[in-house]
Chain A
Amino acid sequence: MDISLIFAQFMSGLSRGMMLFLIASGLSLIFGVMNILNFAHATLWLAGAYFCYTFWSLMQDYGFGMWVSIFLAALSLAAIGWVIEVVLIRRVYNRDLSEQLLLTYGLILVIGDLIKLTWGVEDKFIARPPLVASPVFLFGVPFDSYFIFVILIGFAVAFGLWYFLKKTRYGHIVRAAVFSREMVSALGIPIPRIYTGVFVLGIFIAGLAGAVQAPVGSITLGMDMAVIVQAFCVVVIGGFGSLLGTFVGSMIVGEVYAFSILLWPQGALVLIFIVTAFILIVRPWGLFGTPMRA
Chain B
Amino acid sequence: MKKYWWLGLVFIGAVILPLVIGEFWVHVAVEILIMGLFAVSFNMIFGYMGQLSFGHAAFYGVGAYATGILLVKASVPLPICLVASMIAAGICALIFGYFCVRLTGIYFAILTLAFGQLMYYIIFQWYSFTGGDDGLQGIVPPDFLFGATNYYYFTLGIVTAALIAMWYISRSPFGYTMRAIRDNADRTKFVGINVRKYMLINFVVAAMFAGLAGGLLGPFNRSIAPDLCNWHQSGIPVFMTVIGGPLGFLGPMIGSVIYTFLMAFVTGFTEYWPMVIGLIIILVVLFIPGGVLGLVEAKAEIFRSKHMASGAEESGHTESP
Write out, one digit per residue, whether chain A residues 91-134 have a CB within 8 A of any chain B CB (1) or not (0): 11001011101110111111011101100000000000000000
Which residue of chain A lies nearest to B242 when distances are taken between CB atoms in the complex?
Answer: A102
Is there an interface contact between B282 and A270, defined as CB atoms closer than 8 Å? no
- Min CB–CB distance A220 → chain B (angstroms): 15
Is there an interface contact between B239 and A102, defined as CB atoms closer than 8 Å? yes
Is there an interface contact between B281 and A277, defined as CB atoms closer than 8 Å? no
Q: A92-B285, A106-B278 are in contact. Are A232 and B52 (CB under 8 A)?
A: no
Instruction: Indicate if B172 sits at the interface (CB-CB under 8 A).
Output: no
- Select the residue from A92, A102, A233 with max chain B CB neighbours within 10 A: A102
Residues of B within 8 A of A116 (CB): 272
Tell me the complex Cα distance, A107–B282, Å.
7
Residues of B within 8 A of A263 (CB): none
Which residue of chain B lies nearest to A37 when distances are taken between CB atoms in the complex?
Answer: B106
Is there an interface contact between A270 and B121, defined as CB atoms closer than 8 Å? yes
Which residue of chain B lies nearest to A266 when distances are taken between CB atoms in the complex?
Answer: B125
Write out, one digit per residue, whether chain B residues 257-292 have a CB within 8 A of any chain A CB (1) or not (0): 000000000000000101101111110011001000
Contact of B106 among A91, A92, A97, A114 (CB under 8 A): A97
Is there an interface contact between A269 and B99, defined as CB atoms closer than 8 Å? no
Q: A105-B235, A270-B122 are in contact. Are A225 and B278 (CB under 8 A)?
A: no
- Select the residue from A225, A233, A270 with max chain B CB neighbours within 10 A: A270
Interface of B is mostly: helix
Is there an interface contact between B114 and A236, defined as CB atoms closer than 8 Å? yes
| Contact residues of B between 96 and 117, Cβ < 8 Å to A | 99, 102-103, 105-107, 109-111, 113-115, 117
| Contact residues of A between 5 and 50, Cβ < 8 Å to B | 37
Is there an interface contact between B107 and A110, defined as CB atoms closer than 8 Å? no
Tell me the complex Cα distance, A277–B272, Å.
35
* 8 smallest beta-carbon distances between A and B, as pairs: A109-B278, A106-B281, A113-B275, A110-B278, A109-B274, A273-B118, A106-B282, A266-B125
Is there an interface contact between A98 and B242, defined as CB atoms closer than 8 Å? yes
Tell me the complex Cα distance, A37–B107, Å.
11
Is there an interface contact between A99 and B274, defined as CB atoms closer than 8 Å? no
- Min CB–CB distance A280 → chain B (angstroms): 5
Contact of B278 among A101, A108, A274 (CB under 8 A): A108
Write out, one digit per residue, whether chain A residues 53-84 have a CB within 8 A of any chain B CB (1) or not (0): 00000000000000000000000000000000
Is there an interface contact between B278 and A280, defined as CB atoms closer than 8 Å? no
Tell me the complex Cα distance, A113–B266, Å.
14
Write out, one digit per residue, whether chain B residues 43-78 have a CB within 8 A of any chain A CB (1) or not (0): 000100000101000000000000000000000000
Residues of A within 8 A of B117 (CB): 229, 269, 273
- Min CB–CB distance A144 → chain B (angstroms): 26
Q: Give the total of B residues in contact with A, Cβ under 8 Å.
A: 40
Contact of B109 among A101, A114, A276 (CB under 8 A): A101
Residues of B within 8 A of A269 (CB): 117, 121, 125
Residues of A within 8 A of B109 (CB): 37, 97, 101
Residues of B within 8 A of A112 (CB): 274-275, 278
Tell me the complex Cα distance, A106–B107, Å.
21
A-B contact pairs, 21 of them (CB 8 A): A92-B285, A92-B286, A98-B238, A99-B289, A102-B235, A102-B238, A103-B286, A105-B239, A109-B275, A109-B277, A110-B275, A113-B272, A117-B275, A225-B232, A232-B110, A233-B114, A236-B110, A236-B114, A273-B115, A280-B107, A280-B111
- Min CB–CB distance A231 → chain B (angstroms): 12
Residues of A within 8 A of B282 (CB): 88, 103, 106-107, 110
Contact of A277 among B99, B105, B125, B235 (CB under 8 A): B99
Residues of B within 8 A of A171 (CB): none
Instruction: Indicate if A142 sits at the interface (CB-CB under 8 A).
Output: no
Instruction: Indicate if A284 sits at the interface (CB-CB under 8 A).
Output: yes
Instruction: Indicate if A1 sits at the interface (CB-CB under 8 A).
Output: no
Residues of A within 8 A of B122 (CB): 270
Instruction: Indicate if B41 sits at the interface (CB-CB under 8 A).
Output: no
Tell me the complex Cα distance, A88–B114, Å.
27
Q: Give the total of A residues in contact with B, Cβ under 8 Å.
A: 39
Tell me the complex Cα distance, A107–B285, Å.
12
Instruction: Indicate if A281 sits at the interface (CB-CB under 8 A).
Output: yes
- Min CB–CB distance B246 → chain A (angstroms): 8
Tell me the complex Cα distance, A229–B121, Å.
12
Tell me the complex Cα distance, A170–B241, Å.
40
Is there an interface contact between B235 and A280, defined as CB atoms closer than 8 Å? no
Tell me the complex Cα distance, A273–B229, Å.
14
Instruction: Indicate if B38 sits at the interface (CB-CB under 8 A).
Output: no
Instruction: Indicate if B85 sits at the interface (CB-CB under 8 A).
Output: no
Residues of B within 8 A of A280 (CB): 99, 103, 107, 110-111, 114
Tell me the complex Cα distance, A232–B52, Å.
16
Tell me the complex Cα distance, A110–B289, Å.
20
Instruction: Indicate if A135 sits at the interface (CB-CB under 8 A).
Output: no
Is there an interface contact between B281 and A105, defined as CB atoms closer than 8 Å? yes
Instruction: Indicate if A160 sits at the interface (CB-CB under 8 A).
Output: no
Is there an interface contact between A97 and B102, defined as CB atoms closer than 8 Å? no
Instruction: Indicate if B231 sits at the interface (CB-CB under 8 A).
Output: yes
Residues of B within 8 A of A281 (CB): 99, 102-103, 111
- Min CB–CB distance A104 → chain B (angstroms): 9
- Min CB–CB distance A64 → chain B (angstroms): 36
Which residue of chain B lies nearest to A117 when distances are taken between CB atoms in the complex?
Answer: B272
Residues of B within 8 A of A190 (CB): none
